[in-house]
Amino acid sequence: MSGPPETSLRSVPKIVWVAALGMLVQAVATMFVTAYQFSDAGQQAQHGRVTTGFEYVLLAVNLVVAVLLAVAFTTLLSRRPRARTFAVVLEAAGILENAVNAFAGHLYSLTPLFVAVAVIIALLTHPTVGGWLTAAPGSR
């Protein structure tokens, strides 16, 4: 990649890579969960069960969260100002969404919930993250 060394991907601290990759894995997993939920709703409709509006809302929220997680992945690695804030707020929303999914009976939502908690802890407590992001060009 071209560009100044301070913005190259090689300069990204490992903890930021771990957090960003966690968000990317969550984005991909959320798409699979959404596909499963959509398939499940279709199978239930074939058997005469009407899918509730709540289930369609969960599908829509899952799609939006997956896209935003992918955006957060790229934003965090590009050292944009407020990248950590965006990622933490998004992960907090993901925790809420996964908790709702879990309470709705989708227990597979517990794993991404725990990943979101781990990402938040990594981004907020590791001293390298704040220093690396605040030293980003254009962040002042």
* pLDDT tens sequence for the chain (140 residues): 444 435 567 778 899 899 999 999 988 988 887 888 888 877 877 788 777 777 778 788 888 888 999 999 998 888 877 888 999 999 998 898 888 878 888 887 888 889 999 999 999 998 888 777 776 555 44
- Domain-located, residue 2: no
Report how far residue 61's alpha carbon sits from residue 128's, in angstroms, rounded to the nearest whole number. 32
- Domain-located, residue 10: no
Report how far residue 81's alpha carbon sits from residue 49's, in angstroms, rounded to the nearest whole number. 48
- Tell me which residue range forms the domain holding 122: 22-134
pTM score of the predicted model? 0.75
Report how far residue 13's alpha carbon sits from residue 124's, in angstroms, rounded to the nearest whole number. 14
- Domain-located, residue 87: yes
As a dihedral over the C-alpha atoms of residue 61, residue 65, residue 68, residue 74, rounded to 10 degrees, the angle is: -160
- Domain-located, residue 1: no
- Domain-located, residue 44: yes
Number of folded domains that form the chain: 1
